[in-house]
């Protein structure tokens, strides 16, 4: 089950596609291991919105580095033209699901991206 907010959802690419996914966008820079392109059920692969290779490698999916990673990734997103593409997709589709491959369902770039695109109103 994904996390929802303002027309966006996040979900692991390894989870089966669902009818309520809406427009499915893979937001990883690298194609996920073990996923056949024909079976992925994606509408768009927007690798440009993923963290830079250097930032991704520096993070290395270590939870203790997540806060710093998230801050640096948000800074990258500030100047990323692909963010506008996602916002345009959300304006044209009732639901846009951001797909990612990371094992950690909480500390990953798709969660940071979701928060960036649809911040909590709290």
Q: Give 3-53 pLDDT, tens digit per residue.
A: 444 599 999 999 999 999 999 999 999 999 999 988 889 999 999 999 998
Torsion angles phi and psi, residue 51, rounded to 5: -60, 150
5 vs 1 pLDDT, higher one: 5
pLDDT value, residue 39: 84
pTM: 0.89
pLDDT value, residue 64: 87
56 vs 91 pLDDT, higher one: 91
pLDDT of 1 > 60? The answer is: no
Q: Is 30 left (phi over 0), alpha (psi -120 to 50) or beta?
A: beta
What is the overall mean pLDDT for the chain? 90
pLDDT value, residue 4: 47
């Amino acid at each position: 089950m994904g996390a929802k907010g303002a027309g966006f959802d996040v979900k692991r690419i390894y989870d089966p596609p669902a009818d309520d996914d809406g427009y499915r966008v893979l937001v990883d820079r690298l194609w996920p291991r073990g996923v056949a392109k024909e079976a992925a059920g994606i509408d768009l692969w927007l690798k440009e919105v993923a963290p830079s290779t250097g930032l991704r490698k520096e993070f290395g999916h270590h939870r203790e580095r997540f806060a710093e990673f998230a801050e640096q990734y948000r800074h990258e997103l500030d100047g990323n033209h692909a963010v506008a593409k996602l916002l345009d997709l959300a304006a044209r589709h009732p639901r846009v699901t951001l797909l990612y491959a990371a094992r950690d369902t909480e500390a990953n770039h798709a969660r940071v991206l979701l928060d960036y695109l649809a911040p909590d109103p709290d």
